Structure 1
């Protein structure tokens, strides 16, 4: 029994001896300053895997590590984020050591500081373009419709559900209300950020007088540059083409956007000239920019129904658009803007309807096949001379337009009753509005003068002649014509002043309106090529002259939550 016990103790002795080996020591830097929280571990020789325990130095740089491997040598590993790693080969014996660590120099990677994608300063919300841009996006309109709080209804930009008031590029209003030309053609690569200016009052002299709850948009470019969009596409079915050449120049005192667009792929590019902003620059005075006037047609041809899906999928067109817009800043903060456009647009539309009327005696079936062709030529221009400063506002807007519209409508009823309608219209108008605002003392005085002249002759022909019993003694005839001549002259001049009193605004206005309108019409029947004017029962000669003087006193109270108007 004693012999066996001695043998067991003899075999256990090396293990006990091994388990009692303690390596301790102190770790300092080159200046002999103790290093705390340094990790000390060990591994077998020629192995980087920690096979035993580990410990950390205390604040005095001291450590104590028990060795639990039977090998006669180990590798001690000392590690700290601020110092170079140290590997030391030691005998597996109880001992104490002093270690000196070398500092580690870490090269920090570059840090890029960039503005957040959306941030607000005062009343201006700034949107960086890049975070909202996808690979397939090409023009700035694709980014604007993704911005928080912004949506687009066709080409119209809405902010919080309301149309924007102005569309600036680098703070300048080049396009007035027809901003779709820029929005649909300005390359994303040229834009640094998009700004939404809340509560924007475009007329600087009114900034402290009339509160505006409308927003405007400003496109801030990366640099003053010449840029633009170019596209030329051709295809089959048969001879399809789509061309867009839109060069743009943006300098500090000069801006220009010119475009030539043409296609027959169903894209009605003439819509880019539409007025998209509701200009209530100073709605207290009920004064706005001149609206884009559309020719007044008293006639229509029978139209086919329009499909409910995207117009580009069904429109048969041939459209040419030329547009030029320039802005030049002059001395003494004056600006000169010239906008000229020409559109030639031809469209064809066809449609069929089949109607059944159920009666007690029989069913009545009517089929109608319509084939229409529309041709429009329109020349339009604006020349605007303005000054917009804190102490004075001056704007003269001269606008002119000339339109030629020709429409041919072919109607076939029940496959045998054919009717052809031809509508021709020419429209000419020019108008000029002059407005100036200036403070005299604490009162803001305004003078406004508007002159407008328009002429719209139009003719419709229907073949064969209709209503024989009423117009031609019940005798069939070949053609019915009606000619109408419209003329309008109007001038509206007034003088007003505004007195702001805290949250109240008092407006007094006096003015005079003069208007002269005329309408003349004649009805013709033709048989064998000989037109005959019908009697006075089928003609009109109407003249209306208006002269009115008016005076108005208006008070407005406006706060952040309430608005009250008293007239």
Structure 2
């Protein structure tokens, strides 16, 4: 670990030792008046490549930092109505003042040609027209072609490989992180440009005081008041009858904004995730979460293939959402936001899996075939109310949210000749309130934060007939793990309830001086979790064991009545520094952890009192206009949860019981991680790239030690007290460039991840090792007027070993994957578009190959006057009904050959339109 940290430091400081030089000064006209907005660039002689650039401020002052091995460089100055100036200067630090001669700038034509990418400070602006193609309709369609930006199917955005922290439209944050709806439905014709706000601190009072390493996106519309939106209505042929409806009207004004969204389909499109919180802003704004259930009990689930969701999702979804923002004061500092959404979704899934358990030491292997047919029912509603004041002289934000779930899952599973019907009911109620305020006090800032959360989870799992199960338990007579036999014609029911209360309160005061901000903070966190479980079933003696005693489920061994509490007073010192070149964030918290786990049923009383120091650090250095280098590191501690402290048997899934030893201590995990990053982004030549290296080490005091019945695949999950480690290191590289002459955006990527972890299986200790390599290539081209092309390629290789568990060196297997997506659009006649899409997903275990190809064909006619599209689309032309693949499961020392049911061939007719 120390050697790898040294490597990180060498990588970082190698960058800092580059021969950086700075040229500064002032630009004036012939009369000595300052010239603002003049561009100053540094270039190597004889080369058409800009090393660095700067823009003069209102006083005509400039400052440019660059790196070059040449003894001399060219300095060029350009300004409107001034004669361009070029001077060769020495490669050294110096101050130069220039006086420019007046010269009228001739405008040859009346129309103005805008630059497709412009940069000013930490803001990079992209002219959307420079990147779109004839087939693009929405903002997300075009943003996928912008260099340095990635857009996922749910609308989430990555910039330089990292998630953004805010998404604005005309400077307002209507969606509060759930921006997928706008990104996927805002017509491109309404957008003037996309702005990337690098190093964005969303809390205005903290700007220039507390740095940020994340970027934000601001969508600048053509009009300050815009009524727009996108709609689709489609129907199709298939089994059953197909439909697809999308209606998303939007309004963006100077005082208020709103978006209403209704989407429904049964043709395999996953629209319900667009409302998820994708950007979480700054920790100074308080705490926001994607409310979710504590899913402890589950039916057996059919596999999901590594395919685009539209290929396998058998769904029937209705998703309705509404978002509203308005200013409630004349200064437009206070905002009220109200968000609500409702989801009703039904999903069907089916698979067949052949699992081969490898021999280990003296135990033979086996092969088990299982099949699972699922029905998942989602019914949930969420409401949120947010009051915000975000001004230079103060900050206030209160977020109140409520969520209710009425979910249910069903499964029919077949295993070693047994058929079981499984059902889970899981209603959940959830409430959260988060408050954060920052008050200026003379030269200081005082911040108060408060978070309260309450959640009530109820679940029940029923399996019928009970003798489908082959559950393992610790037999007190045989002193080993044996199987429970259930009475024929009976059912088993596992009941579960968890009540969770979490609170967090803190106060801090910030002092700022000469770019430094010091923030001492005190606070306390408290959480209480009450777990109550019961298992009901009728067991009979196992005839294979002499004098076997069938377990009684009436006793405490199969019940839980656990109260798990955590009290955490804490104190910390935050240190921030912000200058033109440096950004530093450090936090040094001390936590006083007091944890109790009490179970009166089995007279268990566990406690832990421990003081921990968990510092974290982020350092970023910007140099030569286009370069950034950063280091980060942190130490964290986790002391388990109620999920790792219960001591009674619980049937969390029909695959087997889970149980914790009452004599085991409270789980403890100590994690250390470090990372470095070098980033280059040059909007002048449209080149972007980044290199990342990270490593981590997690130390735990408890190690999972499952017992596996390789004849049925059922397991007993238990834990043993033993120090163990999970280590990983990852290297990733991404390079992207836009070629304006060819209207082509291309990028290549590479990543290599190595992970090692201690593991146990059937009382055998071993080392689980995993090495994954991935290569990627993306290309977008709109050069030809008659065609546009999108191509994505990914190749992966995953080698997995269980050293010490398997014979012959521990090799478990190699999993190779190859997938690509080709989207081509042809425009043979004006307003007519022919589209072709090809998805190819291949996997291999080195001997067997599984090739899965999918083809789609579409024809679209555009009624240009009304801006309406009529599309006829044929999906899965080859009518592939089954996806075949190969996977490795290190935890069970097995490989699995899987066949998953897919959506059949289908034809859709869709009308697409803008609301205005």
Instruction: Give the TM-score range, shorter chain.
Output: 0.7 to 0.9
**What is the alpha-carbon distance in structure 1 between the residues aligned to residue 504 and residue 355 of structure 2?**
51
Q: What secondary structure sits across from 1:184 in the alignment?
A: helix
User: Alignment partner for residue 402 of structure 1, among 404, 409, 429?
Assistant: 404
User: Alignment partner for residue 242 of structure 2, among 240, 243, 253?
Assistant: 240
Q: Residue 240 of structure 1: CA displacement? A: 0.7
Q: Residue 151 of structure 1: CA displacement? A: 2.0
Contact 1:180 1:273 in 2 (8 A): yes
Contact 1:477 1:525 in 2 (8 A): no
Q: What secondary structure sits across from 1:408 in the alignment?
A: strand
Residues 565, 410 of structure 1: CA spacing in aligned structure 2 closer, same or farther, 3 A cutoff?
same
Residues 335, 362 of structure 1: CA spacing in aligned structure 2 closer, same or farther, 3 A cutoff?
closer
Q: Which residue of 2 aligns with 1:17?
A: none
Residues 377, 358 of structure 1: CA spacing in aligned structure 2 closer, same or farther, 3 A cutoff?
closer
User: Alignment partner for residue 326 of structure 2, among 316, 325, 328?
Assistant: 328
Counting only pairs closer than 5 Å after superposition, residues 148-547 of structure 1 correspond to structure 2 as 148-154=147-153, 155-223=155-223, 224-238=225-239, 239-282=241-284, 288-331=286-329, 332=331, 333-355=333-355, 365-414=367-416, 416-465=417-466, 466=469, 475-525=487-537, 534-547=554-567
Q: Which residue of 2 aligns with 1:126?
A: 125
Residues 462, 198 of structure 1: CA spacing in aligned structure 2 closer, same or farther, 3 A cutoff?
same
Contact 1:436 1:446 in 2 (8 A): yes
**How many equivalent pairs are there?**
451
1:392-427 deviation per Cα after TM superposition (whole angstroms, max 9, x unaligned): 10000001101121111111124x410111111111
Residues 380, 357 of structure 1: CA spacing in aligned structure 2 closer, same or farther, 3 A cutoff?
closer
Q: Which moved more, 1:497-506 or 1:234-243?
A: 497-506
Q: Residue 459 of structure 1: CA displacement? A: 0.6
Residues 356, 165 of structure 1: CA spacing in aligned structure 2 closer, same or farther, 3 A cutoff?
closer
Q: What secondary structure sits across from 2:211 in the alignment?
A: coil
**What is the alpha-carbon distance in structure 2 between the residues aligned to residue 203 and residue 564 of structure 1?**
16
Q: Which has the larger radius of gyration?
A: 1
Q: Residue 266 of structure 1: CA displacement? A: 0.8
**What is the alpha-carbon distance in structure 2 between the residues aligned to residue 418 and residue 498 of structure 1?**
64
Residues 220, 538 of structure 1: CA spacing in aligned structure 2 closer, same or farther, 3 A cutoff?
same
Q: Residue 539 of structure 1: CA displacement? A: 0.8
Q: Residue 120 of structure 1: CA displacement? A: 2.1
Q: Residue 271 of structure 1: CA displacement? A: 1.5
Q: What secondary structure sits across from 2:273 in the alignment?
A: helix
1:196-224 deviation per Cα after TM superposition (whole angstroms, max 9, x unaligned): 12222211100131122322111111121
TM-score by length of 2: 0.47
1:303-327 deviation per Cα after TM superposition (whole angstroms, max 9, x unaligned): 2222122111111111110000000
Residues 336, 124 of structure 1: CA spacing in aligned structure 2 closer, same or farther, 3 A cutoff?
same
Q: Which moved more, 1:293-302 or 1:236-245?
A: 293-302
1:81-118 deviation per Cα after TM superposition (whole angstroms, max 9, x unaligned): xxxxxxxxxxxxxxxxxxxxxxxxxxx99631132222
Residues 474, 422 of structure 1: CA spacing in aligned structure 2 closer, same or farther, 3 A cutoff?
closer
Query: What do you get for the CA RMSD once the two structures are aligned?
Result: 2.6
**What is the alpha-carbon distance in structure 1 between the residues aligned to residue 456 and residue 149 of structure 2?**
41
Contact 1:204 1:389 in 2 (8 A): yes
TM-score by length of 1: 0.75
Residues 534, 303 of structure 1: CA spacing in aligned structure 2 closer, same or farther, 3 A cutoff?
same
**What is the alpha-carbon distance in structure 1 between the residues aligned to residue 114 and residue 365 of structure 2?**
73
Q: Residue 225 of structure 1: CA displacement? A: 2.2
Contact 2:576 2:583 in 1 (8 A): no
Q: Residue 234 of structure 1: CA displacement? A: 0.3
Residues 452, 111 of structure 1: CA spacing in aligned structure 2 closer, same or farther, 3 A cutoff?
same
Q: Residue 352 of structure 1: CA displacement? A: 0.3
Q: Residue 448 of structure 1: CA displacement? A: 0.9
Residues 496, 356 of structure 1: CA spacing in aligned structure 2 closer, same or farther, 3 A cutoff?
closer
Q: Residue 549 of structure 1: CA displacement? A: 2.6
Contact 2:407 2:425 in 1 (8 A): yes
Q: Residue 561 of structure 1: CA displacement? A: 4.7
**What is the alpha-carbon distance in structure 1 between the residues aligned to residue 131 and residue 237 of structure 2?**
35
Gaps (5+ residues) in structure 1?
1-107
Gaps (5+ residues) in structure 2?
1-106, 474-482, 540-551, 589-916
Residues 554, 167 of structure 1: CA spacing in aligned structure 2 closer, same or farther, 3 A cutoff?
closer
> Is the counterpart of residue 112 in structure 1 residue 111 in structure 2?
yes
Indicate the structure with greater strand content.
2
Q: Residue 472 of structure 1: CA displacement? A: 7.9
1:14-52 deviation per Cα after TM superposition (whole angstroms, max 9, x unaligned): xxxxxxxxxxxxxxxxxxxxxxxxxxxxxxxxxxxxxxx
Q: Which has the higher contact order (CA 8 A, sep 6+)?
A: 2
Q: Which moved more, 1:499-508 or 1:340-349?
A: 499-508
Contact 1:477 1:526 in 2 (8 A): no
Q: Which residue of 2 aligns with 1:137?
A: 136
Residues 501, 479 of structure 1: CA spacing in aligned structure 2 closer, same or farther, 3 A cutoff?
same
Q: Which residue of 2 aligns with 1:553?
A: 573
Residues 538, 254 of structure 1: CA spacing in aligned structure 2 closer, same or farther, 3 A cutoff?
same
Residues 474, 483 of structure 1: CA spacing in aligned structure 2 closer, same or farther, 3 A cutoff?
closer
Q: Which residue of 1 aligns with 2:57?
A: none
Q: Residue 367 of structure 1: CA displacement? A: 2.1
Q: Residue 464 of structure 1: CA displacement? A: 1.3
> Is the counterpart of residue 565 in structure 1 residue 586 in structure 2?
yes
1:474-519 deviation per Cα after TM superposition (whole angstroms, max 9, x unaligned): 6435110011110011221111111123243211111222322100
Q: Residue 121 of structure 1: CA displacement? A: 2.8
**What is the alpha-carbon distance in structure 2 between the residues aligned to residue 142 and residue 519 of structure 1?**
47
**What is the alpha-carbon distance in structure 1 between the residues aligned to residue 575 and residue 472 of structure 2?**
61
